[in-house]
Amino acid sequence: MSLRSKLAAVLAACVVTIPLSAVTAQPASATGGSCGSGYNFLSSYPLRYGDAVGGSLDLYYNPSNGYNCAIARAKAAWDGVAHHIRVFLSDGGSRTVSDPPIGSSANYRYYAGPVKLYLKHKCVYAEGQLTYNGDWYRTGDAAFGVHCG
């Protein structure tokens, strides 16, 4: 099984284990979620269900400290009504960070993150996910092995 397939299987398994009766976490601001100063925007990847787009995964990099940052957001029209928004950031191997943490029952409804990981001279493997009206929107492997170096 390839590294890409293994990572996709791990991330998919995380979603399956999320309890449906989870506690709702509310952010301080619906439009919040910032990596902080020094982080430069790299790219945005849509969270898709078929052809429909329900949000985005935004990637950032801080060249002064070598950390990457990721935030998953519901599209503005779905703020507060999307469920189980999650973000994962990984080196494609043994190091993965997520928000909410794997195994958590938190139910974010606006955004997830920021999550940060030191990835200087490595490729970024990231995924964003959310649920809306029972449909699972995700980036899939679109942000696997990107921004290498």
Within a domain: residue 33? no
pLDDT tens string 11-65: 444 433 333 333 333 333 334 579 999 999 999 999 999 999 999 999 999 999 9
Residue 27: is the preceding peptide bond cis (ω within 30°)?
A: no
Q: Which domain holds residue 111?
A: 3-15+38-146
Domain total for the chain? 1
pLDDT tens string 72-101: 999 999 999 999 999 999 999 989 999 999
What ranges make up the beta strands (E) of 35-148? 40-49, 52-62, 67-74, 83-90, 96-99, 106-108, 111-118, 124-132, 135-138, 144-146
The model's pTM is 0.80
Within a domain: residue 84? yes
